Structure 1
Amino acid sequence: MIPADTSKDAHRVQMEIYRRMPLERKLRLVFDMCAMGRMLVKAGLRIRYPQASEEEIHRLWARQHLGDELFEKVYGQPNVSTET
């Protein structure tokens, strides 16, 4: 799928660059994008819960990504005051 803000020619060039890119570089890009996504979600949680500690922010993020059932298996019962 071509993004709405990208021309067909630019997309074709970008895909060719990705095809020629070494696997290690592709993996680094994926890991960097995941880290950026995690940072953005946590920034949003900090805005929503300004009183929360970094540990509480991490637990809120983990609950959001793991779901309630797996979160409770991993972290135990919720004890963070900001969790709803």
Structure 2
Amino acid sequence: MDFEIVPKDTTIEAARVQYSIFRKMGMEGRARMTMELSDGLRSIIESGVRQRHPDYDEDMVRLAAIRIAIGEELFCQAYPDIEIGS
């Protein structure tokens, strides 16, 4: 483990424990955890959109969340005919 990349708010011992846990999870476990974190973040973003725009239907919520995630410029390129707030 490269301890030069340990976050400043994490002790080396805590980093060792975390690294050991991740290693024991295996690639499949780490991939599953990554997907769960991604799904959780998407849910949080969508919840924020719903609070700001209670009038949005689910498609509009999804598009607004995508806009937040990928940024204005890329969203406009990917969805040139969609005008939606976030």
TM interval, shorter chain, is: 0.7 to 0.9
Q: Specify every segment of 5 or more residues in structure 1 that has no aligned partner in the other structure, as ranges.
A: none
Change (3 A) 1:52 1:34: same
2:26 maps to 1:19: no
The TM-score with structure 2 as length reference comes to 0.74
1:78 to 72, 78, 82: 82
Alignment of 1:22-61 (within 5 A): 22-61=26-65
Amino-acid identity (%): 26
The TM-score with structure 1 as length reference comes to 0.75
Q: Work out the number of aligned pairs and report it.
A: 80
Q: Specify every segment of 5 or more residues in structure 2 that has no aligned partner in the other structure, as ranges.
A: 1-6
Aligned-residue offset at 1:59 = 1.1
Query: 1:2 touches 1:8 (CA, 8 Å); kept in 2?
Result: no
Local SS of the residue matching 1:57 = helix
Aligned-residue offset at 1:14 = 3.0
CA RMSD of aligned residues (A): 2.2
Q: Indicate the residue corresponding to 2:3 in structure 1.
A: none
Query: 1:42 touches 1:61 (CA, 8 Å); kept in 2?
Result: yes
